[in-house]
Amino acid sequence: MPRAAKKPKIEKDAVYVCWMAGSAEVDGETVGFHEGERLRGDSAAVQGCPQYFFADGLAAASGRPTGIRWRDRLCLGEAAGCSM
């Protein structure tokens, strides 16, 4: 049986890195964030959408999420005729 993911604990003074761009409405305000953006834990984006962020300093081997860019998803390389 699948388990629901636990909401990550966000420390307000820590720095978090966005792994996938997005936007959301948080407390009536639209917030946007882009891949690689570094924000503090008290940011509305990090508080409202913690699933898009990981703690700064995490290495890929220790659980850093890896996003798939739309360009990579749509283009399968030169063999597919990608010109992006």
Mean pLDDT across 17-25:
89
Comparing 59 with 56, the larger pLDDT belongs to 56
Mean pLDDT across 10-34:
90
- Judged against a pLDDT cut of 80, whether residue 38 lies above it is answered with yes
Q: Which helix (H) or strand (E) holds 72?
A: helix 70-74
pLDDT band at 67 (very low <50, low <70, confident <90, very high): low
Name the residue ranges covered by the structural domains of the chain: 15-80
